[in-house]
Structure 1
Amino acid sequence: MAGAQVRATKEVAAEVELADRLDLGRPRALVLVVRPGVGRALTKLLAALLAPSCPVPVVITDAVPSWIGALDVVFAHTDDSADRELAAGIERASRYGATVVLSGPQDGPVAASIAGKGLLLAPRMPVPPELTFARGFAAGLLTANALGLLVADLEALADQLDAEAERGHLGRDSFANPAKALALRLADRVPMLWGLDPAAVAVAEHAAYELGAFAGVVCDAADYRQAKARPALLRSALGGGEQDIFADPDFDDAGLKPRVLLLAVHTGQTADATRHEASHTLPGAGVIAPADEIAGPEPVRAGVLALRFELAAVYLGLAAGSLGGAGQYAPATA
């Protein structure tokens, strides 16, 4: 339902006249408030997409800063309607005249803190909080579009998310299902997801969250350059990559081996050079670059990659029995 979430968010934004109400001229700063859940990675992804050409400072913070003022715009995504820290921050921002855009539930203390003083983009369909990345991402992109800080095609994003969901459908075999194929690559391994660019790093962090949320899998998510700065882990990655095709589980040492996947969202000469260098350093690592499969700008490629990891995490959770049982989400929910 990722594509549907994007379209529904776009409809809500039109109803609350988001574009008109954010037609305020260039803000002093865009403040992205990070909250637990999918909001942590999606705010970092938004900042990564804005960074190359954004004419205003983009501030990532866990709480609304004390210096907030009338010339600032605040954006936050939450699925916790009772997040009192966020509610207090939104109330303070509104009191000092800042423009607030909230992607979150329409009931509870958080929604009450914005009532009449900001813009609430509430969900239109019931989706587990672990699967609201598409909705929050769409809300952030719409906010950036309205402020003139970014140009993102939300309809193209929704279409490609629909296509990715179709490719990842349960009825498709793994050779034609990128989500199943990804799940098989990560099964019985320690995933190491190393991003080759800031947007890919943000998606890697989202993937790590999803793997933990649905499959109970511990995952390392890092910038590739930072990963290289950890010698012991790098040596482990070099010794446990995909090149070990003759491994025999009956004689191998106990313990899971690492699986390194290099993620790439950016394209161009610099991105290609980084990818070549990383592949040379880690010859056994897999590379996942949506640009190799689909045509579309960076927000679309990042959204597709995030959804693929969500679906893979759900498949791993179903296989491990951490989904579908008592008190858990039914498979159809995903």
Structure 2
Amino acid sequence: MLDDTLLADPRALAALDTRGVLRSAATAGAQVRSAAHGAQEAGVADLGGARPRALVLVRRPGASTSSSALLAALLGPACPVPVVVAESVPSWIGPLDVVVAHTDEATDVELADSVARSVRRGAEVVLSAPGDGPVASAGAGRMRLVEPRIPVPPGLDLPRALAVGLAVLRALGLLTAPLDPGMDVLADLLDAEAERNQPGHEPFMNPAKSLALRLAEHTPLLWGTDPLGTAVARHAATSLATHAGVVAHAGDVGEGVAASGLLRALDRTGGARDVFHDPFDDPADGSEPPPPRLVLVATEEDDPGQAVLRRTGRTLPDGDVLHPVDEVARGTPHSALLRAALLASRVDVASVYLGLATRTIEPA
């Protein structure tokens, strides 16, 4: 059961977080800066000058899955280059293709095979991975390697993976607007989010703590109202499972509405929690599943409620809406990307808070 008093006590959080997971979750901005600098030193900018036949995003377990989905959603169907997301490089990989891969597991044998095949056939490879082990050795001297400079626990390396991928998109000229090489705008935004989410802030001032409290003892239904929002929603489900042991349903809002059983459960609860319910005076008997909690995840300029109505033809019960237009104003260059990165960071910190408050994250 959630110990909500813990979230209001920074000293108790620090005493419990002996592994420094919260501190690692606050390094998103620093990860972006270090990865951007690493990409520059690795010569990623030299990829510019010619459009590749295909951009292959290798999806591996961990942050690679989320970063590949975010990059593919950012490019969208209008991308002038075919984008292939796969768990290994396709059989037709060749010298006209660009391969992007990320891992925090230096001994990923399948990824090592993909890297070796790609460089052997002359493809350009950009790899974000530790510098030792079979993965890095598979393409040593024949690829652009960006090594991690800020160590973080598994599941908190999405900012690094995303920054390296964005450096490749920038070099290939696939973004609709210029992105600064150092990615300072993105890093500064993530630093500001980390400041809001620091342990010393009360839950009503801390968006990550507030989100953790809203999701606690519920089954989160994380539904994106746009492609980037859907990618963030799926990342959120992975983050909740990794750090808090919470099982969530994540996907596009159209998929969510089509899941009739979930929709009926949501309609019954109205998406709201009884504020007078006391779990100690009226404990659950364990036979009922946790009630659903709807969370709409949005990154585009449109109002999420209007987007849901336009796409599904109906309104949904009241729930949480993650649409940070206060932090990233409408009309800001790369606003959807910035909102997606901010929300991914927020749900990571919220998942860590929830994991600490439920003792899922154990002390060292």
Name the amino acid aligned to 1:116: G
Distance 1:187 1:131 in 2: 21
Asked if 1:301 corresponds to 2:334, the answer is no
Name the amino acid aligned to 1:12: G
Shift in alpha-carbon separation, 1:317–1:289, aligned structure 2, 3 A: same
| CA displacement 1:65-96 (0-9 Å, x = unmatched) | 00101110000111110011111111111111
Distance 1:30 1:120 in 2: 17
Asked if 1:177 corresponds to 2:203, the answer is no
Name the amino acid aligned to 1:264: A
Asked if 1:321 corresponds to 2:359, the answer is yes
| CA displacement 1:114-159 (0-9 Å, x = unmatched) | 2111101111121112110000000000110011111434211100
Distance 2:109 2:234 in 1: 25
1:1-334 alignment runs, 5 A limit: 1-20=27-46, 22-150=47-175, 151-153=178-180, 154-245=183-274, 248=277, 250=282, 254-268=288-302, 273-276=306-309, 281-295=315-329, 296=332, 297-326=335-364
Distance 1:308 1:157 in 2: 14
Shift in alpha-carbon separation, 1:225–1:216, aligned structure 2, 3 A: same
* Identical amino acids, percent of aligned pairs: 50
Long gaps (5+) in structure 1: 327-334
Q: After alignment, is 237-246 or 60-69 more displaced?
A: 237-246
Distance 1:259 1:268 in 2: 22
SS in 2 for 1:265: coil
For the 8 Å contact 1:164–1:304, the answer to whether it is kept is: yes
Which has the higher relative contact order, 1 or 2, with Cα contacts under 8 A spaced 6 or more apart?
2
Pairwise CA distance, 1:52: 4.7
Pairwise CA distance, 1:205: 1.0
Distance 1:136 1:324 in 2: 26
| CA displacement 1:11-42 (0-9 Å, x = unmatched) | 1112122102x024001110000000111111
| CA displacement 1:152-171 (0-9 Å, x = unmatched) | 34211100000000000000
Distance 1:233 1:14 in 2: 46
For the 8 Å contact 2:211–2:350, the answer to whether it is kept is: yes
For the 8 Å contact 1:241–1:259, the answer to whether it is kept is: no
Q: TM-score, normalised by structure 1?
A: 0.92
Distance 2:292 2:226 in 1: 21
Name the amino acid aligned to 2:67: L
Runs of 4+ in 1 over 6 A off after TM superposition: none
Aligned residues: 324
SS in 2 for 1:166: helix
Q: TM-score, normalised by structure 2?
A: 0.85
Name the amino acid aligned to 2:233: A
